[in-house]
Structure 1
Amino acid sequence: MKALDEDFKGSIVEADADETVAQTADEIIESTRDFVLKELSKNLKGYDLEPFVANLLQAMGYRTILSPHGGDSGIDITAYKDELPPRIVVQVKSQDGDIRENMIQSLKGAMREGDYGLFVTLSNYTKNAQRYLENTPIIRGINGTELVDLVLKYYDQLSVKYRKMIPLKMVYIPVPAEE
């Protein structure tokens, strides 16, 4: 602890330390995001992703109802913010390939007047599907990256089952001082 001695003549290089900390923090964040998406993809194939998304919506403050498997007319989850409309109908896809426009159109076809739609996938959307979502403001698309953002934001409110599946620990990382 020479730095605490009164006669210490050394210097501390803060700029390099800040850059190293920032780089390390970015690497940790990216590694965590990759881990979460990998665990979701590995553990929640097919119908198993639906109760996870329902639990995530509950963590966000929604009441959810899971539809029975098969014959759901494109609606996997129905969500409500409270007892009043609007109803949010949710389609969940865990497939590896990108979501095409016709899959989102299928959800729109299952919607009633006044409904909002939510399409959740672990993958991404084709260009045409992205364009369709942009032109259909009553349907929101969430891709794998956005899903991970929500998992990280609401992690503490997820059920124990899912927190055990995706074991994470809260850590604090120094960030460079803003200039």
Structure 2
Amino acid sequence: MQEEADAEFNHNDFIQQAKSMVEDAIGHLDPWEMQDLVAGILRAMGYQVRVSPKGPDGGVDILAHKDAFGFEKPVVKVQVKHRKDTSSAPEIQQLLGASPMGGSCIFVATGGFKSTAVKVAQQNDVKLIDLPGLADLLTDWYESLPNETKALIPMKKVYVPFK
């Protein structure tokens, strides 16, 4: 009985270590690579994606939509912040200001979110994705990612026996 508990404990440790390694790999990307990573995940999910060029973007880094022309609603507007600092409510509000009626918003912040930002996001149906959430999306959609996105963070599937 104790051996089973030890094996399960080790299995959970292994999974947590793997998640930590994915988060570390994401943390080593530069801001433009991070933007490309998020765009690649959206492509894997079936979205058509347009990434804003480097420079001022008016609060929107990525536009995503289901149809090739971008007419089908909802258009998804994505802001990506790759830094250690937490993102604030005014940053969420800036993204909302760039979003027309009927548009959906996603805010990705590897540094997490201040409580005021979470409140504003909840009140306005903005999807928040922090570093652990992004790591989960990356591993969930990895097999479907475009090759150029996989090249940003090369990973290999590992099978581990457990009961």
TM-score, L = length of structure 1: 0.83
**Is structure 2 residue 86 aligned with structure 1 residue 101?**
no
Say which of 97, 102, 113 aligns to 1:114.
Answer: 102
Query: Where do residues 1-179 of structure 1 align in structure 2 (5 Å cutoff)?
Result: 15-42=1-28, 44-83=29-68, 84-137=72-125, 139-176=126-163
1:54–1:77 CA contact under 8 A, matched in 2: yes
Change (3 A) 1:26 1:104: same
| 1: CA distance, partners of 2:132 / 2:38 | 14
Q: Which has the larger radius of gyration?
A: 1
Deviations 1:108-165 (A, max 9, x none): 011111100010111210111111111111x111111100110110111223344344
**1:67, CA displacement in angstroms?**
1.2
| 2: CA distance, partners of 1:171 / 1:17 | 23
1:18–1:175 CA contact under 8 A, matched in 2: no
Aligned length: 160
Structure 2, unaligned runs of 5 or more: none
TM-score, L = length of structure 2: 0.90
| 2: CA distance, partners of 1:24 / 1:162 | 31
2:77–2:104 CA contact under 8 A, matched in 1: yes
Change (3 A) 1:135 1:17: same
Q: Percent identity?
A: 29
| 2: CA distance, partners of 1:128 / 1:175 | 42
Change (3 A) 1:172 1:74: same
- Residue 106 of structure 2: SS of its match in structure 1? strand
Could you tell me which amino acid in structure 2 is paired with residue 41 of structure 1? G
CA RMSD of aligned residues (A): 1.6
The range that moved more, 90-99 or 80-89, is: 80-89
Structure 1, unaligned runs of 5 or more: 1-14
| 1: CA distance, partners of 2:119 / 2:146 | 34
1:121–1:143 CA contact under 8 A, matched in 2: yes
After the TM superposition, which segments of 4 or more aligned residues of structure 1 sit over 4 Å from their partners?
none
